[in-house]
Amino acid sequence: MELDSLYQEVILDHYKNPAHKKLSANPTVSVHHVNPSCGDEITLNLILDGSKVKDVSWDGVGCSISQASTSIMTDLMIGKEVPEALSVVDEFTELMQSKGTLNGNEETLDDAVALAGVSKFPARVKCALLGWMAFKDASLQATGKNEG
């Protein structure tokens, strides 16, 4: 069924058991993003150690795609240097905008390639990107902060 390309097993697993879905204390930066078309909301806390992503934690409400995608993203980002993390965000964004023409590189995107099917459902791309955009925003704010 066409639906199975959207709701991969990995996604449903992350939806049922989201990773890092508990806000850590004392974040370097905390951001709040909403998707006004469906009302999904996320708060994301980022803790940097120098230029390294030490911790990403979050809380929020949303559909299975936004929840699973955010969960996968946190697993992926923790431990990375910020510039590398941001390039992974760009790579994932490109995958989401590919309208089903890309499969995604498993080496860099890991579990996030399971979201490739989302790109065939234009209405869901924003859901998949919600947490990633929050992370990007937080990283840019945090690094701006550090430099300043």
What phi and psi values does residue 73 have, to the nearest 5 degrees?
-60, -45
Contact between 100 and another protein by CB under 8 A: the answer reads: no
Which of 11-30 are b and which e, b meaning 16 or more Cβ less than 10 Å from the residue's Cβ?
beebbeebbbbeeeeebbbb
Helices 82-96 and 122-147: crossing angle, nearest 10°?
Answer: 160
Of the candidate residues 17, 22, 32, 39, the single one contacting another protein (CB under 8 A)? 39
Report how far residue 109's alpha carbon sits from residue 126's, in angstroms, rounded to the nearest whole number: 18
Q: Which of 52, 132, 53, 60 is nearest to 91 (CA)?
A: 132
Report how far residue 139's alpha carbon sits from residue 88's, in angstroms, rounded to the nearest whole number: 13
Of the candidate residues 76, 127, 130, 134, the single one contacting another protein (CB under 8 A)? 127
Report how far residue 32's alpha carbon sits from residue 91's, in angstroms, rounded to the nearest whole number: 23
In the range 8-37, which residues lie near another protein by CB under 8 A? Answer: 12, 37
For another protein, the closer CB: 61 or 94 = 61
CB of 38 to another protein, least distance (A): 4
Of the candidate residues 10, 23, 63, 133, the single one contacting another protein (CB under 8 A)? 63
Of the candidate residues 75, 121, 133, 137, the single one contacting another protein (CB under 8 A)? 121
For another protein, the closer CB: 18 or 27 = 18
CB of 3 to another protein, least distance (A): 5
Contact between 62 and another protein by CB under 8 A: the answer reads: yes
Binding residues for another protein, per CB under 8 A? 1-3, 6-7, 12, 37-40, 61-65, 121, 124, 127
